Amino acid sequence: MRELIDRPQEHFALIRRTDTALTSLAVFIHGFRGNYLTTWGSLSQMLHADADNQAVFADWDYLFVGYDTGQVATYLDIAKVVWGQWSKASQGERPYNRNYDRLALLGHSLGTLGIRQALLAHAAQPKNFLSALHGVSYFGSPINGSPLAKFSFSKIAAALEPGSPQLRMLKAWCKDMYAHRPWRDVRVITGTDDAVVGYVAGELMGWDGDLPPTQTGLDHSDLVKPRQWNSQFFDEIHACLR
């Protein structure tokens, strides 16, 4: 059985088992102008209703957490959301009320850059953050920026422009840090119809820690909105959690 703890004003929703205290937590982070739940379509409803009947998925609790796009200016601001929730979850603080010791991070669009930053800033990470990390998946990651960023007035938009200083710094930092403190291999999923961040797989290769990209025939939004369990989206999540 699963319960849903939903706190819209806090951009927070936790789906957890009530018949047993699981110790594995999968965290979903949305992207630019996204929403902690609606970015992922019906995913939260599907997990709430049927995760316990699915191999691997039954062994995890699920956190959907987000941020106000207008209030973030750097990838570090998003990383702090990840660190803050994992710190509470790993120590069993409210509303978790159980100690998690295994973590999976799944991001969409800008959220993937926040996760990348969370993996890099070792001094700011909660205790045992990297050692608890089991899997990482990036959906529609704008690692080359987005040509649409120039049309937004949000503070974070400057960090999404192709060739932005923040983006160049993140890639250089990634190369240096991965050589010293490597993390679990990262799955990168691209959409062949993704006009927001580009869809040529070769353009997305070359970041330390990333596996070669896999592609799905969807656009930037639809590639994280499943309609049924039998889909590539759930195959990718399964691969991250198994």
* CATH code, domain with 177: 3.40.50.1820
Question: How far from 45 is each of 108, 225, 229, CA to CA, in Å?
Answer: 18, 12, 12
Q: How confident is the model at residue 68 (pLDDT cuts 50, 70, 90)?
A: very high
65 three-state secondary structure = strand
**Range 134-143 average pLDDT:** 95
Q: pLDDT per residue over 92-127, tens digit each?
A: 999 999 999 999 999 999 999 999 999 999 999 998
Q: What is the count of structural domains for the chain? A: 1
The pLDDT of residue 138 is 96
Q: Please check whether residue 77 is in contact with residue 67, taking contact to mean a CB–CB distance below 8 angstroms.
A: yes
pLDDT score of 76 more than 90:
yes
d(CA 42, CA 73): 29
Q: How confident is the model at residue 200 (pLDDT cuts 50, 70, 90)?
A: low
* Residue-range definition of the domain harbouring residue 222: 2-241
The pLDDT of residue 26 is 98
Instruction: Please tell me what DSSP assigns to residue 159.
Output: G
d(CA 187, CA 48): 24
